[in-house]
Amino acid sequence: MKTVPPPHSHPSKPAYVLPAGSCDAHVHVYGPVARFPYAADRAYDPPEAPIERLQALHRLLGVERAVIVQATVHGTDNGAMLDAISRAPARYRGVALVAPDVSDQELRRLHAGGVRGLRYNFMPHLGKSADPEEVRAMAARIAPLGWHIQVHVTAAHLPAIRGFLESLPVPFVIDHMGRPMVEDGLDQPALACLLDVLGHERAWVKISGPERISALLSRQARPYADAVPFVQRILQAAPGRVVWGTDWPHPNVREVPDDGKLVDLLPSYTDDAAVLESILVANPSRLYWYD
């Protein structure tokens, strides 16, 4: 089983001061394993990354709210995520993983615990891709709750599931910009497809993971600065349906980033302070704190 490294041991304090109410809309928690064991069929083996360590990071960064996305290492046992949300229910929300036969009672319990969406994997290296018909059936069940569907998919694979996504009766959120690799250029078909999909009124995207798409990684004057033009294109396409996240503790990345440096990329994405505030405050409020 693949072992992944821990998060950055000494993240820097960012120079950019986040606006009040800023939300880190994509983080995970792992363990503690003694209370929340990892799933036996997990695709990778991470070191523990409990809520206390995430809270310490957010104090350093100036983050006030967060969306805790259920990690595949915990499977459909959402206990660690729900426990993390319970530490500050007004400031935390969650995105869960569930089995196709999950009961309506369990969905209501997850909603009461702060869950506002379900995540589905279309990345073969993390296991079998989701069944679109199962996702469609689940979307109909969660629509009355106001939830959304979050998809982990590359932009290159997006054309294959685009019609299915656009047919869903709920918003859909694309993880990590759909990973259009910088080395393939701004004119690549994958990015063009992503931008086209963002024209759909229910399509959202997370501008997380610049370290996942960068060609030069941290070997730049500003780490991952080569990803900036890609984010700028995304913001031009749908500024009102973009949220930002660190992706802490950074599972399955080519190098573990300094989260302070990720925050310091934010003002390079746009010089419009109102757009930045929307990405960090207003947009996540609409998607996760609508009720």
Maximal CA-CA distance, the chain: 51
Does residue 247 carry a catalytic annotation? yes
In the block, which residue shows the tokens 């001061």? 17
Q: Which two tokens stand for residue 133?
A: 């018909």
Q: Which two tokens stand for residue 45?
A: 């083996």
**Cα separations in angstroms, 272 against 64, 264, 277:** 21, 15, 9
Distance of CA 93 to the CA centre of its chain: 12
Q: Which residue is catalytic, options 24, 175, 247, 258?
A: 247
Q: Which two tokens stand for residue 103?
A: 């009961």
Cβ neighbours of 265 (radius 10 Å): 21
Environment class of 221 (CB within 10 Å of its CB; exposed 0-12, middle 13-18, buried 19+): exposed
- Interatomic CA distance for residues 254 and 190, integer angstroms: 21
User: To 5 degrees, how large is the angle CA 141–CA 146–CA 152?
Assistant: 75
The catalytic site residues sit at 247
